[in-house]
Amino acid sequence: MRAPVFAANWKMNLGPREAAAYMERFLAEGGSRRGHTVAFFPPALSLAAVKEALGEHSDVLLGVQNIHWEDKGAFTGELSARMAADAGAALCLVGHSERRHVFGERDEECGRKCVAAVRAGLVPVLCVGETLDERESGQTRDIVLRQLRAGIGGLTADDVANLVVAYEPVWAIGTGRTATPGDASAVHVVIRDELARTGGERARGVPIVYGGSVNAANAEALLAEPEVGGLLVGGASLDPVTWSAILRA
């Protein structure tokens, strides 16, 4: 995974027709450029439309927003990592704050999903981050390390060296509030040290991206921090022009 990594999480937005129109405009804006990694995480129903619209643009990666930890079974409404890979996904989000705090996803489940992703050949993008109350009570480090350790606990050192970690403070997601570049970098150092402790020196190359009210105005300052290896962008990625401007940061 070549840093910086720019990941667009569309959440529950842009159905197949909208997604196809978006990609047409995105490619007209110049699309991806060599030297970094660009990934889209559309809704599962729009994945095929995005893949078709990209055509031969193999420099853009696709991912899914969630997976189940089982390969198959009676899990209505879920999709497995193997299904996602078969549909053309290369990555999957695991433990996004909305999965944790809206749908009640637990640390242990995130760990099982990371194992399932690796088993299917997907790159897990493990999301970690604290709430506002946890931050104000000085628990940021403890919360981030707890989530990180649970997510990678079932992985080998080689697996750890080949994932992506996203630090997304919950209090900054969709609120307009953004961690300062220095705040983000400080937490990224904590994550980097833990990855190296678990995965060895190779894990020091794992991209650690920041997510939380990222936009075209603050992207450059965030990316200027040496420990910020890319951006995970929600709302600002829904417009192809704005997203292209962020990529130019």
Verify cis geometry, omega within 30 degrees of 0, for the bond prior to 207: no
Q: Rounded to whole angstroms, how far apart are CA atoms 227 and 190?
A: 10
Residue 127, token pair as written in the block: 């999301």
If DSSP codes are grouped into helix, strand and coil, which group holds residue 199?
Answer: helix
Q: Which residue has the tokens 């200027």?
A: 224
Whether 96 sits among the annotated catalytic residues: the reply is: yes
Whether 201 sits among the annotated catalytic residues: the reply is: no
Nearest residue to 81 (alpha-carbon basis) of 108, 49, 127, 119: 119
Both ends of the chain: CA-CA distance in Å?
19
**Is 19:49 a contact under the CB 8 Å cutoff?**
yes
Q: Which of 105, 130, 168, 194 is catalytic?
A: 168
Length of the chain: 249
Catalytic residues: 96, 168
